[in-house]
Amino acid sequence: MTVVVPIGNAKPVPATQPQRIGVLLVNLGTPDTADAQGVRVYLKEFLSDPRVIEDQGLVWKLILNGIILRVRPARRARDYQKIWNAERGESPLKTITRSQAEKLAEAIADREHVVVDWAMRYGNPSIRSRIDALAAQGCDRLLVVPLYPQYSAATSATVCDEVFRALADMRAQPTLRVSPPYYDDPDYIEALAVSMSEHLAALPFQPELIVASFHGMPQKYVDKGDPYYTQCVATTESLRKRLGLDASKLILTFQSRFGFDEWLQPYTDKTIEKLAKDGVKRIAVVTPGFSADCLETLEEIAQENAEIFRHNGGEQFSAIPCLNDSEPGMDVIRQLVLRELQGWI
């Protein structure tokens, strides 16, 4: 190792060594266990984030600790148990996100100075722990990739919040980049279209229409300036154009509402119920706001909403998988990462 010549009585300082680039894929999060205690820990962290619930005042704290964290964990644990990866002892979201990171690392293995890792915004592995691990491997530059196609303060921004909190405790901070949302990226739209077409071609029935269901958010967040709704609309319109479908054949809805505020509409469950009551017998649902299958897609859509549809007169229902770690899905992530690493590699 070469040494920098000291000045005066200063100690010798090792010369700067060649550094590495860290790429950190980040998704929303998951409980560590599919029981009430595991879900309680997860929900407390998630619902205590002022980006998720903006009013963190005394009334909310009383509701959260006095009602929600007493009642909801057991119910949600039963939902998680329906989709849990029993072989690995973890949620599908964790399994898929890990695989996405491993496949990305393999795809860009020719860039030997790039290290790929993954984290969850809530739960484990934490963002802080993985930034520390990347720094320990000599990464002095860091690209954070929030795996949310559409930006919202409650998803992408809170990833940045946590990254900045981790960096605030570091004396030797890495140079930071954060990838942008990719809601209308041509690679993303093409991957969605290919994935949807392949899935629909393999079905034993032809859907009368397709529902594009995005995670919802309180309407007041959009009224305050969150661009999420606009980006969901843009994704849906780009997908319609690519697939050659009009607005009556690919409809936009929002799922997973929580609490008593007005959320973005139309609501997925109410729309699916009405479609069935109006005589629609065959539908498919795609979830273009999720990069990996999770509780909201595997249980809420594929099970709960399928039951709503059939209970109200519908007959055939299919949930189209997320892009996950499929070849089209990984191509989207790879292209995004390589584009954002320009100038570093």
Return the closest-CA partner of residue 215 out of 134, 291, 105: 291
Helix, strand or coil for residue 223? Answer: helix
Annotated binding site for Fe(2+): 215, 296
Rounded Cα gap, residues 333 and 337, in angstroms: 6
φ and ψ at 329, to 5 degrees?
-65, -40
| Ranges of H-type helices in the chain | 36-47, 58-63, 69-83, 92-107, 127-136, 158-168, 186-201, 219-223, 228-243, 268-277, 295, 306-311, 327-340
Return the closest-CA partner of residue 147 out of 333, 6, 284: 333
Annotated binding site: 215, 296
Return the closest-CA partner of residue 131 out of 50, 22, 226: 22
Could you give the C-alpha distances from 83 to 50, 158, 161, 297, in angstroms and in order?
Answer: 29, 26, 30, 10
DSSP string across 137-185:
TTEEEEEEEE--SS--IIIIIHHHHHHHHHHHT-SSPPEEEEPPP-TT-
Return the closest-CA partner of residue 252 out of 154, 150, 178: 150
Rounded Cα gap, residues 33 and 83, in angstroms: 12
Sign of the C-alpha dihedral computed for residues 57, 59, 65 and 70 taken in this order: negative
Q: Is 118 left (phi over 0), alpha (psi -120 to 50) or beta?
A: beta
Helix, strand or coil for residue 312? Answer: coil
Matching residue, tokens 């990254």? 163
